[in-house]
Structure 1
Amino acid sequence: MARIESILYTVCRIGVGVSFFVLIVTVLTQVFGRTFGSSPIWTEELTRFSMLYMVAFGAGLSLRSGDLVNVDVVCENLGGRWPRRLRLVAAAVTAVLCAYLLPHAWKYVSIGAMQTSPAMTLRMDFVHFAVFGLLLTLFVFSAFRVAGMLFAGRDGKADPREDLD
């Protein structure tokens, strides 16, 4: 399980990096275009699309590292095993909610196959897939947390380490 989590962690980090690189190049193209004439119209769309994918790849990583919004002030000040129980419940509820939303997100993706973006004429299912990807990464990383807590004796706290090895 740790090996699969490590591979997914690496894929998501690369995805965030590539999305951020595309965002930087696109914004620089906009800036230079506006400075020396007019900016290409496709830069507006590509900026939005790259931000969507950056969030989709980064959501699971944020859950894993503890960078998502949390109520640690309340949970961690409780006594006994309550903080661990609440972390388990929060991860399980996140996984269940994402699992419930995944089929609906896939329907949203499939609707996008009938649409294209105005400036880039890109099929919108490629863009809408970011929403599905966000839910999928959140589901997988929260499921890893639940499995680690139930079967590997982990405490369920955020893991800010660079890798799992």
Structure 2
Amino acid sequence: MIELLKKIESFIRGAVFVAFLVMIVAVLVQVVARTFMDQAPLWTEEASRVSLLFIMSLGVGASFLTGDLVNVDLALMLMPPSLRRLFDLFSTLLVSIFSFMLVPGAWEFTVSGSWQTSPILGVQMQYVFVSMLIFSVLLGVFGIVKFIRILKQVPVSQPTIH
């Protein structure tokens, strides 16, 4: 199970890297074109938006698992470790439940894109909308993994004071 998670995480990191490259190239082309041309290519804006969606949808689960998501945890810092662990368990469980509740709606949203195409790239929107399904599933799955790690008392990233 741990080996499978590592492979999934490695694949996700690679996919996020590719999406970042696409976004960097699109934005760079747009900036250069706006500087030296009368009008920037239209595809650059749409490509950067789509790549940003995939960066977010692919990265959220792994970020939740490692504690890299931005959160307000001042109250957690003041709690004793046992109470902090209880709150971590509860919030992680709620995030997972909520994420899995989003899956049916995300699936319907994805399917609705089969009869739409993006205006500039000409891509069927279901390939763009699937990012919401990926977001929901990965956040739910990695939330369960984090929940199990907290239950087994495997060290999970804790908030730090900066």
Task: Look up the match of 2:90.
Answer: 89
Task: Look up the match of 1:21.
Answer: 21
Question: Using the alignment, how far apart are the partners of 1:51 and 1:18 within structure 2?
Answer: 11
Task: Look up the match of 2:153.
Answer: 153
Question: Using the alignment, how far apart are the partners of 1:60 and 1:12 within structure 2?
Answer: 9
Question: Using the alignment, how far apart are the partners of 2:66 and 2:148 within structure 1?
Answer: 17
Question: Using the alignment, how far apart are the partners of 1:28 and 1:86 within structure 2?
Answer: 43
**5 Å matches for 1:17-96?**
17-37=17-37, 38-79=39-80, 81-96=82-97
* TM-score of the two chains, using structure 1 as the length reference: 0.87
Question: Using the alignment, how far apart are the partners of 1:35 and 1:70 within structure 2?
Answer: 38
The one-letter code of the counterpart of 1:29 is V
| Aligned partner of residue 78 in structure 2, secondary structure | coil
The one-letter code of the counterpart of 1:108 is F
Structure 1 runs of 4+ aligned residues shifted over 4 Å read none
What is the CA-CA distance between 1:35 and the residue it aligns to?
3.1
Deviations 1:86-127 (A, max 9, x none): 111111111100011111101000001111111111100000
Question: What is the aligned-residue identity percentage?
Answer: 32
Task: Look up the match of 1:163.
Answer: none
Structure 1, unaligned runs of 5 or more? 160-165
Cα pair 1:109 1:125 within 8 Å, conserved: yes
Cα pair 2:65 2:145 within 8 Å, conserved: no
Cα pair 1:113 1:124 within 8 Å, conserved: yes
The one-letter code of the counterpart of 1:99 is F
Determine whether 1:109 maps to 2:94.
no
What is the CA-CA distance between 1:60 and the residue it aligns to?
1.3
Question: Using the alignment, how far apart are the partners of 2:120 and 2:55 within structure 1?
Answer: 21
Which has the bigger relative contact order, CA under 8 A and spacing at least 6?
A: 1
User: What is the RMSD of the two structures over their aligned residues, measured on CA atoms?
Assistant: 1.9
Question: Using the alignment, how far apart are the partners of 2:52 and 2:81 within structure 1?
Answer: 41
What is the CA-CA distance between 1:34 and the residue it aligns to?
2.4
Cα pair 1:5 1:144 within 8 Å, conserved: no
| Aligned partner of residue 79 in structure 2, secondary structure | coil
Determine whether 1:10 maps to 2:6.
no
Deviations 1:45-89 (A, max 9, x none): 111000110111111122122122334321242236211111111
* TM-score of the two chains, using structure 2 as the length reference: 0.88
| Aligned partner of residue 117 in structure 1, secondary structure | coil
